[in-house]
Amino acid sequence: MQMRKVYNWQLGRNAAYIYPQSRPKKQWAIIFDLNKCISCQTCSLACKTTWTSGKGQEYMFWNNVETKPYGGYPIGWDIGILAKLGFQEWEGDKYIGKTLFEAAEKDEKILQHLSEDEDWAHPNLGEDEVAATVNKGDWITMPHRIWMFYLPRTCAHCTYPACLSACPRKAIYKREEDGIVLVDQSRCRGYRECVRSCPYKKTMFNVETRISEKCIGCYPKIEKGEMTQCVTNCIGKIRLNGFVSTPDKSQKDNPMDYLIHERKIALPLYPQFGTEPNCYYIPPIHVPLPYLEQMFGPGSGKAIEAYKNAKDDLTLKGLLVLFGSMERMLSSFKVDKDIARGYDEKGSEVVKVPITEPMYIRDFYDKKLKTYRHNTP
């Protein structure tokens, strides 16, 4: 297949794609702080009750949370495609291995891992499973000897979507105004080329309608300047949703650009696939670095270092407290001595949060009521 060359900043080089480069005016993006996710699945249910409550969508989770390293929805989505792609390498910040488009088999557009029916049937198999056996007599040490972490996932509304490039009839399109990738429900004919091709397995087949569906990036909310359902309903306040620029146009006061480009703390999921995904993750600090580097690229070590120093890093700390503090999408933010502020597109203040919550210590004995206070809520 004759491929086009497109610039992929996550790989630091030009990479192969089916269509010529055409970036949207704005690019939808989402950031997850993996150090804070507790896998409560409130995001999954917020998404489900909003978008996928119909017949044929029973086991369909546009947003899901899986336990790493062993969990996966569909089962083995990442292990399957990584095994097919084989050992690949980075040279500094530049990816010198092959992307999925570059590793395509003869007569194919992209390297594929096919998930079977059974793989979709257990949305949360392996939840809370750890990476190693807990021995008899084990006690907690720091850092933990045994690790696991939760990985919340949505469609990455990739800059170079595999699903879009795979569709033989152009039923999938990327919106120019916000970069959201959609399956045209009237045009799809259920061929499932997108289901085969998306390496993140975020296009799904609906057996009731016989066509494919995917996360719509909550575009009706985005159009109103609000963040997605999975973001605004997150009780752990681990998510932020907004627009990300390309690194050359990075705006220091844009919260997404600040974390992704300026500080390089939020990293793309499996950038080596070559689709330039727009789901970014603050890596968990307790997970072995080789695993994180495979998942988030070579920037993982530095990201963790910066995150660990957040307590002495006023701007970063300020921005992190804005996570989960508002429904509206922020265009810019500002951090003063004790207060973090967020602004919308027009520059109006949307949110104002104290960086350190004021703490009041009360006496153990309440003289007025003549009783002892308990510190349990």
Partner 1 sequence: MIRKIIILTLCLLAAGRLVSAEQKKFVELISYKKSLDVSKVGPHDEVWKAVTPYKQPLQRQSLVFPKPADVSVKEVLIQSVNDGKHIAFRLSWKDATLDDGIKIMNFSDSAAIQFPVKKDPLPKDFMGEPKKPVHILHWRAWRSRDKKDGFQTVKTAYPNMTNDMYVFDYTVKGTGTEKTQAEKDIFIPGKAAGNPLSFDHKEIIEELSAEGAGTLTSKKGIENTTGEAVWKNGEWIVVFRRPLIVSDNESVQFKTGEKMPIAFAVWDGSKNESAGRKAVSPAWAEIEVK
Choose among 326, 275, 247: nearest CA to 266: 247
CA gyration radius, the chain: 22
Helices (H), the chain: 42-51, 77-85, 117-120, 162-166, 193-197, 219-223, 229-232, 255-257, 289-296, 300-308, 314-322
- DSSP-assigned states of every residue in 306-342: HHHTGGG-HHHHHHHHHTTS-SBPPSEEEE-SSEEEE
Indicate the residue among 210 and 308 with the shorter CB distance to partner 1: 210
- DSSP-assigned states of every residue in 152-163: EE-----SS-HH
Q: Considering the complex, what minimum distance in angstroms separates the CB of residue 303 from partner 1?
A: 36
Indicate the residue among 62 and 95 with the shorter CB distance to partner 1: 62
Indicate the residue among 18 and 259 with the shorter CB distance to partner 1: 18
Task: Compute how many other C-beta atoms are within 10 angstroms of the C-beta atom of residue 343.
Answer: 18
334 strand-pairing partners: 341
Indicate the residue among 176 and 208 with the shorter CB distance to partner 1: 208
Indicate the residue among 52 and 154 with the shorter CB distance to partner 1: 52
Q: Considering the complex, what minimum distance in angstroms separates the CB of residue 120 from partner 1?
A: 6
Q: Considering the complex, what minimum distance in angstroms separates the CB of residue 14 from partner 1?
A: 21
Cα 280 to Cα 306: distance, rounded to the nearest angstrom? 16
In the DSSP assignment, the letter for residue 124 is: T
Indicate the residue among 106 and 136 with the shorter CB distance to partner 1: 106
Q: Considering the complex, what minimum distance in angstroms separates the CB of residue 248 from partner 1?
A: 32
Cα 122 to Cα 337: distance, rounded to the nearest angstrom? 48
Alpha carbon distances (Å) from 180 to 98, 174, 228, 242? 26, 6, 12, 12
φ/ψ (deg, to 5) at 50: -80, -45
Q: Considering the complex, what minimum distance in angstroms separates the CB of residue 218 from partner 1?
A: 15
Indicate the residue among 54 and 86 with the shorter CB distance to partner 1: 54
Indicate the residue among 144 and 169 with the shorter CB distance to partner 1: 169
Q: Is the peptide bond before 143 cis (omega within 30 degrees of 0)?
A: yes
Cα 297 to Cα 143: distance, rounded to the nearest angstrom? 22
Sign of CA dihedral 116, 42, 297, 146: negative
Cα 215 to Cα 83: distance, rounded to the nearest angstrom? 26
What is the token pair recorded at 113? 């891992």
Q: Considering the complex, what minimum distance in angstroms separates the CB of residue 2 from partner 1?
A: 9
Cα 353 to Cα 172: distance, rounded to the nearest angstrom? 40
Indicate the residue among 49 and 309 with the shorter CB distance to partner 1: 49
Indicate the residue among 208 and 305 with the shorter CB distance to partner 1: 208
Q: Contact positions toward partner 1, by CB under 8 A?
A: 1, 53-56, 58-59, 105-109, 114-117, 120-121, 166, 168-170, 184-186, 188-193, 195, 204-211, 213
Q: Considering the complex, what minimum distance in angstroms separates the CB of residue 177 from partner 1?
A: 21
Q: Considering the complex, what minimum distance in angstroms separates the CB of residue 201 from partner 1?
A: 11
Are the C-beta atoms of 276 and 159 separated by less than 8 Å? Answer: yes
Q: Considering the complex, what minimum distance in angstroms separates the CB of residue 163 from partner 1?
A: 14
Q: Considering the complex, what minimum distance in angstroms separates the CB of residue 279 from partner 1?
A: 23
